[in-house]
Chain A
Amino acid sequence: MTVQMLIEAWRAMGANRLRTFLTMLGMVIGVGAVVLMLAIGQGAQYSVSQSISSMGSNLFIILSGSSTSGGLRMGLGATPTLTVADAQALSELPEMSAVAPVVPGVAQVVYGSNNWSTQVFGTTPAYLTVRNWTIAQGYPFADSDVRSATRVAMIGQTVAQNLFGNEDPVNKTIRIKQSPYLVVGLLSAKGQSLDGRDQDDTILIPVTTAQRKLFGTQFQGTVRFIMAQAVSAQMMPAAEREMNALLRQRHHVREGADSDFTVRNLTALVNTAAQATRVMSILLGAIASISLLVGGIGIMNIMLVSVTERTREIGIRVAIGARQRDILMQFLMEAIIISIVGCTAGVVLGVGGAAAANHFADITVVITGGSILQAFMVAACVGIFFGFYPARKAARLKPIEALRYQ
């Protein structure tokens, strides 16, 4: 019975191929758009969430304050007010899980006949915790290295690539600004940051080594900024409050006076970006869904025409014993076939479009089985929903009127 119905539905659709094709095209474009937009939206969300997790979670950055000299106001970080001791004090707050002072700089690095210019961060082992970074090979330098300002380094993947090629960098000696440093660890790959910088193009050395031996500092023990991680997202507001209070106390800032530092909640900034991406992907999906809806209306329209055209056929079928539900099923089947075939083609189109977007425009796309399944379900529902009214109209035709219809 069902097989026979499929055959008949196929035959009916084959009778007017162009029309069937055009009806299907509506579905193809609708489903294709949905699949493509979901892929792009999810891709955007994916790359943002990648960036967020590579940056580290529940993150603060504490910058030293601005300075004014001769009426000229300098930007944040211009006055070196933060120290390693500040970082140490902050790390003792119960709200904080890790705190790392940073002295950044740029230096030329040499190994053998290769040389490379990269950013060098003087910091503490806590930096790895704060940034959610791991060691791929070797070991991180220890707190004792920080205390004694040894010349040791952890290098990022990009640096390793450029200096060592395929060679194992661990336990090799590189030269940073002419001085030899022992590579103790190779950092794992981290990829791009949210603003597109290559985070793997980095060397980490003990903060004391950077201060005393590599870059030097204006005042003894000062650092450019401090990165800090709160224990949890819930603790972020309390952590911000406590850090402000502690640093104001340590820097002897009077009640009512401006702080000589700034605490910034990085995670909040990033969450805003994530939120924006989510809104964008919902918007894309909604617009694509409208085209699916239009495709569905196209099916309904053509089915209604088809029912009118085949009124006489319906009459014949009823006269020889078709029940109402047989007629209903016959027309519903046609609508469902159109939507399923259209959907299959649409998925192919959408996936192809996503692959093309990825290949030619370098857009991150994510296609999941779930989203394809979703597209199929929606298409079947669209077929049933928009096919039902015409099918019911056909099933409810009065047999004598249907037979008399010319």
Chain B
Amino acid sequence: MDPIIRIEGLHKEYETDAGPVPVLKGIDLTIDPGEFVAIMGPSGSGKSTFMNILGCLDVPTRGKYILNGRDVGTLNSDQLAHLRNEVIGFVFQGFNLLPRANLEDNVSLPLVYGDVQKSERIARANDMLEKVGLAKYAKSLPNQISGGQQQRVAIARALVNRPKLILADEPTGNLDTRTSGEIMSLFRQLNESDGITVVLVTHEPDIATYAKRLVKFLDGSLIYDGEVSEART
């Protein structure tokens, strides 16, 4: 089976007045379909930059990134948008729902950009809300539900286009322990029963234990790649 993510010799530098600052220094990583990967590392280790590159929101300075069989470096901005829409589902730390749109509209938003008919958009959005247990709030606004519920809506939005890959950047960073557990269980369920590849960034070791594979960053380099359980010992 072809890997969903293949990264070779990935470098990222930011231009500053004092010259280029390297953030990622030659990363090699391959992730197969169906994996559940947690990325950890201290602040400034480059894990967020890495995540942005994985999500096609940022481009590497050097190196190769092949997502779902396509070389991201060769795509234009419209093709990248299409890739983000079709292949990737994003879940952010701050939920990032549109405050003025109700949950149904929020969840169906990726379908709007995927040119799906309105009736189908609504049906699929409601299916996804059902899946995360929030079907009865379909017409509510994001500020009328709790943080954990908002994150579930964000996950429903990430899932609505049936992506192969979910990228979650600190998805439990704004949530309490119990809610965090619920969200992580949801991710694990999606990974195990639906076979969706999940890559999540976290700095909490407890959260990382929900994953099967752990990748650790330090100063822009990959310092660990292996089983979660082994890393703890």
Chain A positions near chain B (C-beta within 8 angstroms)? 1, 3-4, 8, 11-12, 15, 312-313, 315-326, 399-400, 403
Contacts and interface: CB of A to CB of B under 8 A. Distances in A.
Interface string B52-94: 1001011000000000000000000110011011100010100
Interface in B108-159: 109-110, 112-115, 118, 157
A8 B118 CA distance: 14
Contact of A15 (B77, B78, B84, B100): B100
A320 B100 contact: no
16 contacts: A1-B115, A3-B118, A312-B96, A316-B97, A318-B84, A319-B84, A319-B92, A319-B96, A320-B85, A320-B90, A321-B110, A323-B81, A324-B77, A324-B78, A399-B57, A403-B57
B231 interface: no
- Interface size classification for chain B: 20 to 34
B21 interface: no
Nearest to A5: B112
B188 to A, nearest CB: 23
Contacts of B114: 321
Nearest to B113: A321
A398 B228 CA distance: 34
A319 B112 CA distance: 13
Given A321-B85, A321-B114, A324-B78, A316 B57 contact: no
A316 B112 CA distance: 13
Given A1-B112, A312-B96, A313-B98, A319 B55 contact: yes
A9 to B, nearest CB: 12
B29 interface: no
B31 to A, nearest CB: 20
Contact of A320 (B78, B109, B115, B118): B109
A320 B58 contact: no
Contacts of A15: 100
A319 B85 CA distance: 8
User: Secondary structure of the A side of the interface?
Assistant: helix
A8 B96 CA distance: 17
Nearest to A326: B113
A312 B118 CA distance: 25
A319 B158 CA distance: 10
Contact of B81 (A1, A312, A322): A322
Contacts of B77: 323-324
B113 A323 contact: yes
A403 to B, nearest CB: 7
Nearest to A402: B57
Given A11-B100, A326-B113, 12 more contacts: A312-B96, A313-B98, A316-B97, A319-B57, A320-B90, A320-B109, A320-B110, A320-B157, A321-B161, A324-B77, A324-B81, A403-B57
A11 B101 contact: yes
A181 to B, nearest CB: 83
Contacts of A322: 81, 113
Closest 10 CB pairs of A and B: A321-B85, A323-B81, A321-B113, A399-B57, A320-B110, A316-B96, A321-B84, A400-B57, A319-B90, A400-B52
Nearest to A321: B85
A318 B52 CA distance: 12
B86 A321 contact: yes
B81 A321 contact: yes
Contacts of B86: 321
Contacts of B78: 323-325
A1 B100 CA distance: 18
B82 to A, nearest CB: 7
A246 to B, nearest CB: 82
B109 A317 contact: yes
A32 to B, nearest CB: 31
A402 to B, nearest CB: 9
